[in-house]
Every structure is written in structure tokens, then in C-alpha cells.
Chains A and B, each alone.
Chain A
Amino acid sequence: MSDVVPPAAPSPSAPDDAVVRLSDVSVVYGKNYALRGVSALFSKGAVGLLGPNGAGKSTMLKSLLGFVTPTEGRMTVLGLDVAESPLEIRARIGYMPENDAHIPGMNAVSFVAYCGELAGLGRVDAMQRAHEVLYYVGLDEARYRNVETYSTGMKQRIKLAQALVHDPDLLFLDEPTNGMDPKGRDEMLELVRDLGHNKGVNLILSSHLLPDVEYTCDRVVVMDGGRIATQGPIDELKGPSGRVYEVRAKSGADRLVQLLKAAGMECKATDEDVMRVFVPVGKSARDVFAVAAAEGIQLRHVRPSVPTLEDVFARAVGEA
């Protein structure tokens, strides 16, 4: 293992500011484990929940909401036990579901105000908050339109609005940029970043899109196959810069990958002809040159690179 990405560390040494804790949680659908002995901590601020499709991200959120009952393990949200106080928890959290979801037959402002009332706000307060959050998410001009006539991007925004209307202490955002065009996606990410960094709302952003998590979150929990692959602050997980190199060979790239791997250096081919080489402690770029020279492979490009969350993810889920 290289030291570029520290190994998974779902340790029970919890930071005091954890808003969500999972201890050895397992969820089984029929005979299939959706979560298998998951222990994780989500601290205050913006935390990404990253993983490929089917990794168990949505199941984790649904378990925290009480929609799914774990077969074993314990979960707490905002210091409250999910099994004992689900309603108290739901009064303090906002949930933006992954798929299209709305109350039929309502316009946006009625829908959001209705959600506020369901969460315990008075009718007048709920209506006032509905207008405010619709303005915040950029739907103020369309707030009297029936939600069913909204575009996909607008539906994503209104889902965020209904999750925010009662001013939750913690937001669960499940794939918030799904189906959005690039401009809408950027705007949504700005909103999420603003909420997490400027408005004091704790949030868990579940996504399979690494750039989304990297842009909006400070910490990340990476999941794969129903388990925690790694977790921690994104900057720490990336490791020090300069340990990753972008390398391009004139020819024999495949052979070079094999040789570098044999020399104990992890390689990850990218879409282009550039490969990313993870150099472990005790080795340097000189070793990359040496391996290539020994085989007569001409290197065209060797450049120190900044580790990205993609590297963290690739290492964590074993795709390197």
C-alpha cells in the first residue's frame, strides 16, 4: 500500500462534534447485505458520502431516517438514538431524496409551506419560510407554478427547498445534482457549499460524483460494497502533494504500468494517454525514470500532481 491515501479508518475514536454516528450497523434486504458492519462518524459541517452506485449510501441515509431498520448496530443522529427517537430526529433534519418526489396537485409555495407545517411550523411561519427558501434556491419567479410542470433542475431545487423550510440542523442530500444541466449543477453546488460553509447547516451529501463532493465538503466517508472504505478530512486523505505524478510514455504504456506496479508503485490509467503514478514513501520520481529506462521506454512527460479526491476514491475502492 502506498502512503498517498491512508487506509480506511472507521475508528471509534469519535470527534466530539460528530452529528451522526454509526456503530457496527448492518442492513439486510432479503439475503443481500446493503450495509455490512458499518461504523462511521459524520462530524459537523459538510461531509460527503461517496461511493459507486449500490455502495449503500442511500440505504445508510434511509436507515438514519428510520425508513429501514438495521438488523444490528446502533445509530445516533444529533445525539439522539435513531431506534428510540426517530420523530425527534426527523424534526431536526431535512431530507432531499434522490428521485423525483413532490406532493401532487400543489404549486411550489403551497408544497414547501405544507412541508413546513408537517415539520411543526405554524401556518403563517411556514408560508413565510416557504417564500424565503424558494427565493434562496432560485425558484422565486416560479413559485406559483404547479410542481408537476417543473423541469428536472427545478424539481431538484424544490426538493432542497422542502428540506430547508423548517430550518433543520442537519441536511441529508441524496444525489442533489442528479439530472441537472451544467449551469444548474454549478448553482446547486454553490447552494450546498453556502449552506455548509456560511449558513451553519450541517449536511451529508451523498453522491457518486467526486467533483461535487470535493467542491462542497470538507470531510468524506467513502463506501463500497456496503462497507466503509475510508473516511476523514478530504485534505488529509489526499495526502501531501508531490507524491503523485502524471506520466506519459511515448510507447509501451501498458508494459510500463506492469513494471511500475511490480516496483511497488500504484498506477491508474486515465481516459487520455496520461497515467497517474502513486509513489510510495522511500521512492521518488527518479525510480519511475529508472524503471522506464531499464525497459527502454521513453517518457515524454513526468509532472508532480496534486492528489485529488478521485485518487482517494480509486485507492479506497480498489480501482487503482
Chain B
Amino acid sequence: MPIHDQGYRRFGGSRSGRGNAWLVIASSIIRSMLQTKKFMVLLIVAWFPFLVRVGQVYFSANFSQIAFLAPTASTFREFLDQQSSFVFVVTIYVGAGLIANDRRANALQIYLAKPLTRAEYVAGKAAALMAFLMFITFVPGILLLLVQILLAGSFAFVSKNLFLFPAITVYSILECTLATFGMLALSSMSKSRRFVGIMFAGLILFTKAIQGMFWLLTRSSAASLISPTASLSRVGDTIFRVPPRYDTPIVASLLVVILLVVVSIIVLERRVRGVEVVA
């Protein structure tokens, strides 16, 4: 008899309770993405605008000649607007393959044969993408506000613009949720991450182009409702209390954003299954 049997042995340890699977999925994705050099470079580059804004806050606080650069509420709105381009790139880079790759490798039946629900699977994927997007929107946004307090040496600006804390939070969540669920829905519809990336970019750019053409022809911004990014911008302007760039009703723009998230969830509900039944 061997001293140590290296054959199959029954497991005598403990198991965690249910409900942690989404966390396992999310942390695995985050770990694997952070091991990618290209992605690390992208994350670092996504923080450059923050550094520029910190410079702006610093110089305007210390040199009266350029006090006109002192931040206002719209500075934070503009900052998050700038971050949108990074949101676009990170969403494609991280999100395109999240479900598409699993579909290509038939991994869904591996996942769903484990003790986790389809909702937990989607939650894990969404949490990973949301975490990265919040890291380049919400985190630098709030940090910028804190830097402003530190460098200005007073709470005057913050007490005057206290709404900026919830504004940055709500807008970041709204933007990241829309990007996350939109991308996951697209990712669940194909087995090719490349195709998903092209679809996402096409959807964003095409709707934006249509909206631009409509505006050129009619000088009406009503068509902004067909563009997810324009609708989000309209909602963002209201959240940050800046003059709206489109004259569409805020309720309509908000409904478009909510509708897109709901449609994405419906698509995910239909596409994320352990078995694909073609009747």
C-alpha cells in the first residue's frame, strides 16, 4: 500500500455557502485583465485627464493670474465627458469577449452546471466590467473633488456645490450601467469578440452620426433620443445642473437610457442559457 495515495480522494474540507459565485467570476476576470500589459497601459492613460485637471486645480488655486481656470460644477461635467471616450474603449476591450468567448468555448454549460444561477453569472461579468468603468469615472471624479478641497484650503466651493458628490456618483453609475449591460447584451449575441466590438462601436457611432445628420437638416435635437450617448449626455447635463446641450425633455432621455438597460437585460435573459435550443 502506498504511503500517500495520489489517486482520486474524496474531499473532506468545507464549502462556502451559495451566492459567492458572482464574486469568483468577477475577481477572476479582474485578475486576468490586470495581468495584461496593454490593458494596464490603457488604464494608466485613462487617468491622464485626471492629472491634467489636478494641474488645473492646483495652478488656479495658487496663481491668481489664471484664476479664471478655477473649477466650477461644469468642470466636473466636462471631466466625466472626457472620460466617456475611455469608457468606450475599456468597454470594448474588456466587455466584448465577456460572454462571446464563453459562447465560443461552450463555457456556459460548464458555468451553469455549477451551483450558480444565470443571474449570478451575468452579475459576475457585469461586476468586473463595472469595476473597471467606475475606476476610470467615479473614482477620479470623486478624487478630483477631494483634491479641489485640499488645494483650495477651504470648503467654500464644496459647500456651494454639495450636489457634486451625488451628481458624480449617479452619473457614473448611469453611464457605467448603460455601457455594461449594453455591451454584455451584444456579447451574448455572438461568439466573436471582434464582431461584438465592431457592433458596439457601430451602434454608438452610427446613432451619433444619424443624430448629427438630423440636426444638420432640421436644426432640431429631437433625434438625440436615438443616440444612447446623446440621451445620456442630456441626462448628465441635468444631473450636473448645466445648460442642456439638447432640447429634448429630460424624462424622454432618461426613459431611453432606462429602456436600453431593460432591453439589454431581456436579451441577456434569453441568450444566457446552458443549452441553446433551436426548435
Chain B 3-40 interface mask (CB, 8 Å, partner A; 1/0):
00011111101111110110011001000100000000
B270 within 8 A of A: no
- Residue from the set B97, B102, B274 with the largest chain A CB neighbour count within 10 Å: B274
- Selected from B8, B104, B110, the residue in CB contact (under 8 A) with A199 is B8
CA–CA, A21 and B104, complex, Å: 33
Interface residues of A in 121-169 (CB under 8 A from B): 121-122, 125, 129, 132-133, 135-136, 148, 162, 164, 166-167
User: How many residues in A have their beta carbons less than 8 Å from beta carbons of B?
Assistant: 49
- Selected from B107, B113, B279, the residue in CB contact (under 8 A) with A104 is B107
- Selected from B9, B16, B107, the residue in CB contact (under 8 A) with A122 is B16
CB distance from B31 to the nearest CB of A (A): 10
CA–CA, A88 and B8, complex, Å: 23
- What DSSP secondary structure best describes chain B's contact surface? loop
Residues of A within 8 A of B112 (CB): 65-67
Interface residues of A in 159-186 (CB under 8 A from B): 162, 164, 166-167
- Selected from A90, A94, A101, the residue in CB contact (under 8 A) with B107 is A101
CA–CA, A162 and B273, complex, Å: 19
A79 within 8 A of B: no
Q: Are the CB atoms of B110 and A101 closer together than 8 Å?
A: yes
Chain A 248-277 interface mask (CB, 8 Å, partner B; 1/0):
000000000000000000000000000000
Q: Are the CB atoms of A136 and B116 closer together than 8 Å?
A: no
B-contacting 9-mer, from A1-9, A112-120, A203-211, A303-311: A112-120
Give the interface size bracket for B toward A: 35 or more
CB distance from B241 to the nearest CB of A (A): 44
CB within 8 Å for A104 and B101 given contacts A122-B14, A136-B7, A195-B8: yes
Task: Output the nearest chain B residue to A169 by Cβ-Cβ distance.
Answer: B10
CB within 8 Å for A166 and B107 given contacts A68-B275, A90-B114: no
Q: Are the CB atoms of A122 and B13 closer together than 8 Å?
A: yes
- Selected from A67, A91, A200, the residue in CB contact (under 8 A) with B15 is A91
CB within 8 Å for A62 and B274 given contacts A67-B109, A87-B116, A104-B102: yes
Q: Are the CB atoms of B114 and A115 closer together than 8 Å?
A: yes
- Selected from B105, B273, B279, the residue in CB contact (under 8 A) with A101 is B105
Residues of A within 8 A of B273 (CB): 67
Q: Are the CB atoms of B279 and A30 closer together than 8 Å?
A: yes
B88 within 8 A of A: no
Residues of B within 8 A of A101 (CB): 105-107, 109-110
Interface residues of A (CB under 8 A from B): 29-32, 62, 65-68, 87-88, 90-91, 93-95, 97, 99-106, 114-115, 117-122, 125, 129, 132-133, 135-136, 148, 162, 164, 166-167, 194-195, 199-201
Closest 5 CB pairs of A and B: A30-B279, A67-B274, A167-B11, A95-B113, A101-B106
Interface residues of B (CB under 8 A from A): 6-11, 13-18, 20-21, 24-25, 28, 32, 97, 101-102, 104-107, 109-117, 273-275, 277-279
Known: A114-B28, A199-B7, A201-B8. 14 other contacts (CB 8 A): A66-B274, A87-B18, A87-B117, A88-B115, A90-B113, A94-B113, A97-B109, A101-B105, A101-B109, A118-B21, A118-B111, A118-B114, A120-B17, A121-B11
